Amino acid sequence: MISTFIFFHSFLFLYILSTPSSCSSFLSGIETGDLEKRGDLFPQILRDEAVARLVELGKVSDANDYLERTFLSPATTRAINLIRKWMEDAGLRTWVDQMGNVHGRVEGANANAEALLVGSHMDTVVDAGKFDGALGIVSAISALKVMHVNGKLQNLTRPVEVIAFCDEEGVRFQTTFLGSGALAGILPATTLEIPDKRNVTVKDVLKENSIEAAEEMFLQLKYDPKSVWGYVELHIEQGPVLEQVGFPLGVVKGIAGQTRLKVTVRGSQGHAGTVPMSMRQDPMVAAAEQIVLMESLCKHPEEYLSYDGRCSGSSIKSLSSSLVCTVGEISTWPSASNVIPGQASDEFPKSC
């Protein structure tokens, strides 16, 4: 089942690249089983090799028992080398930019035309699934490899560039889209000074990887919008909606805008066995109430938001179906079983 899924989506990429104007009509009425029987679609590349590469990339991890690859970690460095090798195998010219994004490009028949960008991110969350991000990278490379083997890569009407973005999840530095943000020119220079939990900054990590980080770097990385024809990304849904409604795929009209908040609640630290309940100011309890309130707000925003002229009824309706929030991390100080904490901190992303 998984191999068929990978084959179908790699095939979609192939036809988007080779016959963009007639792709939708070509696909109409064709079953996945019919596609696999066609001898000209190279199932050994679009299916077998693609699945093998996803499995291989899924084993490139900084942890032993689960998948974790964060911004320019040792595992990410290994993933960069692996992805770059696959790109070169597909006939692409490759390079790694100053933010750690991996690029593979073919100029096609008209090197001066606007380029089609495709790809996804190579970083992961903690204990990730192997398809998250990797599917979009591997499928794009597989499609281009088929064209390379067929001798049609240079017949593309415009340049095509596959990008494996260095950071989308924002796990290490709690700031998302470092890779794509740099290419879009929206990252401020202050991004270089953001520290991780070990107080290592983005700038430090870049230097560790022999990349000299400076404010001018962001200007060099930014893509001229006039040089880009469009962007296509294949991504696993990671949710239950498509499966629940019985759809094999969906076309994304927009992405979630994310805000990350770190909230610290301070109380009165004390011994757990001697401070009466009536005299306690326990920040952990207050944090728990806060989390429950946030859950309720995101489930029923219409009960909390007021109509003040700026928030219309349609906005409320949209929020009711799209707003999500998650408390993904909580900690206390001093974090001992027999001590009432002096403070509790929780971090949660809010998306809509």
- DSSP characters for 193-243? G-B-TTS-BHHHHHHHTT----HHHHHHHPPPGGGEEEEE------SSHHH
What is the C-alpha to C-alpha distance for residues 238 and 125, in angstroms, rounded to an integer? 12
With beta carbons less than 8 A apart as the criterion, state whether 121 and 40 touch.
no
CATH fold of 2-245: Aminopeptidase (3.40.630)
Query: Can you tell me the distance from the alpha carbon of 137 to that of 146, in angstroms, rounded to the nearest whole number?
Result: 15
> What are the two backbone dihedrals, phi and then psi, of residue 19, each rounded to the nearest 5 degrees?
-140, 65
The Cα–Cα gap between 56 and 295 comes to 38
- CATH architecture of residue range(s) 258-351: 2-Layer Sandwich (3.30)
- pLDDT higher than threshold 80 for residue 329: yes
Tell me which residue of 4, 57, 20 sits closest to 230, measured CA to CA. Answer: 20
Which DSSP letter does residue 130 get?
T
Residue 271 has what DSSP assignment? E
* pLDDT (mean) for 57-67: 97
- CA atoms of 67 and 53, how far apart (whole Å): 15
pLDDT in tens, 121-176: 999 999 999 999 999 999 999 999 999 998 999 999 999 999 999 999 999 998 88
Say how far residue 200 (Cα) sits from the centre of its chain.
22
Cβ burial, residue 270 (10 Å; 0-12/13-18/19+): middle
334: preceding bond cis by omega (within 30 degrees):
yes
Chain position carrying tokens 């991000």: 133
Minimum mean pLDDT among 109-118, 230-239, 327-336: which range?
230-239
Range name among 21-25, 106-110, 238-242 with the lowest pLDDT average: 21-25
- The DSSP code for 46 is I
Domain borders along the chain are 2-245, 258-351
The pLDDT of residue 207 is above 80: yes
Per-residue pLDDT tens digits for 82-136: 999 999 999 999 999 999 999 999 999 999 999 999 999 999 999 999 999 999 9
Q: In the prediction, which pLDDT does 239 show?
A: 84
Instruction: Specify the length of the chain in residues.
Output: 352
Strand partners, 59: none
Nearest to 173, CA basis, from 181, 162, 183, 185:
181
Of the CA atoms within 13 Å of residue 307, those in its CB half-sphere come to: 7
How far apart are alpha carbons 203 and 194 in whole angstroms?
Answer: 8
Mean pLDDT computed over 219-246:
90
